[in-house]
Amino acid sequence: MDGNGRWAKKRFMPRFFGHKQGVDALVRTVQACADRGIEYLTVFAFSSENWKRPSDEVSGLMGLVLVAVSKYLTKLAKEGVRIRIVGDRSAVSDKVREAWGQAERATEHNRRITLSVAFNYGGRWDVVQATRCALADGVQPEQLDEARLGRYMAMSYAPDPDLFIRTGGEVRISNFLLWQVAYSELYFTACLWPDFGDAELDAALADFRARERRFGGVKLEPAPQVVSA
Ligand code: IPE
Ligand code: MG
C-alpha cells in the first residue's frame, strides 16, 4: 500500500492525511475483493523498516491503527471479514496490541474473506522466526524441508498469494512476503494507494488472467490431431 505520502504532498497536505485516506482505500479494497470472491487479501501496513521514519509519523501511524479499528471493525465484522495480524507484536505498544487482539477475536468465526494485515512485518523476519520456532520444536536438520519450514511461517494458514500488487510506482518487493511470493504474479502500478479501488483492482485482475502460469514447468500443447484419410 505505497504512495500515501506523495498523494498528500500533491494536495499540499501533511503525510498523515495520506495515511488516513489510505485506511479508507483499504476498507474499499477489502469490500471489492470480497465482492469478487477473493478469499485472501494480505496488505503490508507497517514494515520492520518503517520504524526508521520520523517519530511523529510512526506515532501517527500507530494512532491510526486505533482509530481504524474503532471506526471500521464493526462494519468489517458484519461483512464476513476475518482479520489476522502477521508480524512481530512484541515491539508495538500495549494499546496497539490490544486493538489487534480485539480485531482478531471479533472476527475469528468469519469466513468470507481473510484480511491479513502485515504489521511490524518483514519477509526476512518471517524466515528467521520460522527457523527459530522449528529449532525450538527440536526439528533436526535432516527433517527440515520446505514443507516443514513452511508450517512455521507467519502465514501458514493461507495459500501462497497468486497475485502481488504494489502501488506507488516502485518496482521492488521491499521485504514483504519473500518466502510466499516464489511463484506469485507480480503487478506494479503507478496508482498511489489512496486512489486504489474497484477500477484499479479490476485492471490488476485482468492482467493476472492473461498470464500463463507454469510454476517452473512447461506449457503442455494439446496433442496434434491425427486425421486419417
Ligand atoms: C505507504 O505510503 C504507507 C506506509 C508504509 C505506512 P508511504 O508513506 O510510503 O508513501 P510515499 O511512498 O512516501 O508516497
Ligand atoms: Mg513509500
Nearest residue (CA) to ligand 1, atom 5: 46
Measure the CA–CA gap between 7 and 103, rounded to whole angstroms: 28
Question: For ligand 1, is residue 122 a contact (CB within 6 Å)?
Answer: no
Do 196 and 29 touch, CB atoms closer than 8 A?
Answer: yes
What is the tens place of the pLDDT at every residue in 165-203? Answer: 999 999 999 999 999 999 999 999 999 999 999 999 999
Residue 89's nearest CA partner among 113, 116, 121, 63 is 121
Ligand 1 atom closest to the Cα of residue 7 is 14
CA 122 to chain CA centroid, nearest Å: 11
Mean pLDDT, all residues of the chain: 97
Banded pLDDT at 70 (limits 50, 70, 90): very high
120 flagged as catalytic: no
Q: Which ligand is nearest to the CA of 52?
A: 1
Identify the three-state secondary structure at position 151. Answer: coil
Q: What's the distance, Cα to Cα, between the start and end of the chain in Å?
A: 61
Q: Which ligand is nearest to the CA of 118?
A: 1
Residues bordering ligand 2, an ion, CB closer than 5 Å: 2
Number of H helices, E strands in the chain: 7, 5
Global pTM reads 0.94
Question: For ligand 1, is residue 129 a contact (CB within 6 Å)?
Answer: no
50 flagged as catalytic: yes
Question: For ligand 1, is residue 6 a contact (CB within 6 Å)?
Answer: yes
Do 102 and 96 touch, CB atoms closer than 8 A?
Answer: no
Mutate to test the pocket of ligand 1, among 2, 165, 188 (most ligand atoms within 8 A of CB): 2
Question: For ligand 1, is residue 194 a contact (CB within 6 Å)?
Answer: no
Task: Report the pLDDT averaged over residues 78-94.
Answer: 97
Can you list the domains of the chain with their CATH numbers?
Answer: 4-207 (3.40.1180.10)
What is the tens place of the pLDDT at every residue in 96-144? Answer: 999 999 999 999 999 999 999 999 999 999 999 999 999 999 999 999 9
Measure the CA–CA gap between 202 and 194, rounded to whole angstroms: 16
Identify the three-state secondary structure at position 185. Answer: strand
Backbone angles phi, psi at 101, to 5 degrees: -60, -40
Alpha-carbon distances, residue 130 vs 46, 115, 134 (angstroms) = 20, 21, 6
Measure the CA–CA gap between 65 and 92, rounded to whole angstroms: 11
**Ligand 2 centroid distance, CA of 175 (Å):** 13
The catalytically annotated residue of 50, 88, 195, 207 is 50
Question: For ligand 1, is residue 87 a contact (CB within 6 Å)?
Answer: no
Please give the single-letter amino acid code of residue 180. Answer: Q
C-alpha cell at 193: 494507494
**Comparing 229 with 67, which gets the higher pLDDT?**
67
